[in-house]
Amino acid sequence: MKKMNMITAVLAAILAITMTGCGMNQNAGATVENIAVTNSNFVSTEESEESTETAVVNQEGNGTVDVVELSQEAESAEQNSELFTKRDLAQTADLSEAQSITVTDGQTIDITDEGVYVISGSAKNCTIRVSADEAAKIQLVLDGVSITNDDFPAIYVISADKVFITTTDSDNTLTISGQFRADGDTNTDAVIFSKDDLVLNGTGTLNITANYGNGITCKDDMKITGGSYNVTTALDSFEANDSISVYDGTFNIKTEKDGFHCENDEAEGTITILGGTYTISGGSDGMQACALMQIDSGTMNITAAEGLEATYVLINDGDINISASDDGINAAASSNAYETAVEINGGNLNVAVGQGDTDAIDSNGSVYINGGTINITAQMSAFDYDRTAEFNGGTIIINGQEVSEIPQSMMGGGMHGGMGGMRGGMNGETNEMQGGMRGGFGRRAADSAL
């Protein structure tokens, strides 16, 4: 729809230019060389944060018109325009009206009004608590701050429309050393705990340690557009209910559970990776989404029980290295919103799995390989799928040998087709509903079924 709107706008502009331009040429001999057609949907707007990009229409003196096609990068940006606002992507804050706060021991700092707040200093058992109007946007600028608490979040967002946590060119350290205590009915289980939308960005470093809980928890949508993060946690390092969207950033994660985890009670939750550099050592999953996981770019080095897991795993590009003790990439039927499948369209993937009942690429539904280079090191099984496998393009190398088709799992030296067929029968009803429902974005099963 957005692309059609843009085309309509361009055609309307062309018509106006042609009519006006002809008049100008006839009367004064003038020519129009460059006319910018704005596309206000290129970056989503947020109050006064509107931003425009341009497609150029060139008109020659003879009245002919050339429309310059949008580049692939522009099309990609347009497709993801609803994910980030201009302010989300800004790595520095507007400090012209900012307030400065220095943390002190045993203090709860209450922020109730919309604005920008620069936080600095060192303290123990100090909490920055945001309790603002549901329309308020709060920006916390961490400028060399260090907070160590016994049992409660260092940053606690109770209410706001959106909270930005922005690092300056400095190191910032937030640590919770003990078991978390609840706030009434709220289980505050993270160093940064937010009930509303959260944006992480900046030019500095944020060090987070949770000896008994999560690193950063958001009960709504989490966005990360820049900054460096060194996170060590007993539970999930980055956790959100509805979505995690990453534009850029550097992540060094050590966790006893998941590096990134997105899931809610409605069996939803998506992770979208557009860039960034990730080094993840996880006790469970490197990244896990209940519904969709889409990777468009980025560099990943993941060592975990399982590397990537979602109902639908969609990899379009990126350099991804996975070392897993269980499955490398796993499509598990956790949501009815998407077909259960792994789809790879591009990128460079190196997947190594250990001995035992392990699979480099495991799908409880189907596998679609349309491009990219997939290099698999597997003792027992390179692929395991319950429905179908399509090899339409790209390169697959298994234990150093390039293959021309996607094999079914090998187990105990024999073909695993019978076991796959049995599982396919057990999941027959679900798979029949999901099979062939291949929509555009993550092959959304619900849309394809209509």
CA distance 42 to 46: 13
CA 210 to chain centre: 23
Contact by Cβ (8 Å): 329, 312: no
Amino acid identity at 60? E
CA distance 189 to 215: 8
**Per-residue confidence at 423, pLDDT binned at 50, 70, 90?**
very low
Which pLDDT score, from 0 to 100, does residue 76 have? 55
Q: Is the per-residue pLDDT at 225 higher than 80? A: yes
Hey, what are 322's tokens? 């996975």
Which pLDDT score, from 0 to 100, does residue 138 have? 98
CA distance 248 to 246: 6
Which pLDDT score, from 0 to 100, does residue 7 have? 43
User: pTM of the prediction?
Assistant: 0.79
pLDDT digits (tens, 9 = 90+) for 41-78: 323 444 444 333 323 333 333 333 333 344 555 555 55
Residue 138: half-sphere exposure toward Cβ, Cα within 13 Å: 29
Hey, what are 450's tokens? 């209509």
Hey, what are 263's tokens? 């899931």
Strands 414-415 and 410-411 turn out to be: antiparallel
Main-chain dihedrals φ then ψ at residue 78, nearest 5 degrees: -65, -40
Average pLDDT value for residue range 144-156: 98
Hey, what are 352's tokens? 């190594």
CA distance 291 to 364: 14
Q: Is the per-residue pLDDT at 27 higher than 80? A: no
Which pLDDT score, from 0 to 100, does residue 379 have? 86
Which pLDDT score, from 0 to 100, does residue 267 have? 87
Of 39-53, 114-128, 149-163, 171-185, give the lowest mean pLDDT range. Answer: 39-53
**Per-residue confidence at 243, pLDDT binned at 50, 70, 90?**
very high
CA distance 251 to 280: 8
CA distance 357 to 387: 19
